[in-house]
Amino acid sequence: EDKVVQSPLSLVVHEGDTVTLNCSYEVTNFRSLLWYKQEKKAPTFLFMLTSSGIEKKSGRLSSILDKKELFSILNITATQTGDSAVYLCAFYAGGTSYGKLTFGQGTILTVHP
Question: Which residues are near another protein by CB under 8 A?
Answer: 6, 9, 31-32, 34, 36, 41-45, 48, 88, 90, 92, 94, 98-106
Nearer to another protein, 44 or 77 (CB): 44
Nearer to another protein, 53 or 94 (CB): 94
Nearer to another protein, 41 or 68 (CB): 41
Minimum gap (Å) between residue 15 Cβ and another protein:
25
How far does CA 82 lie from the centroid of its chain? 17
Cα separation values, 101 from 2, 33, 62, Å: 11, 9, 21
Q: Cα-atom radius of gyration of the chain, to the nearest Å?
A: 14
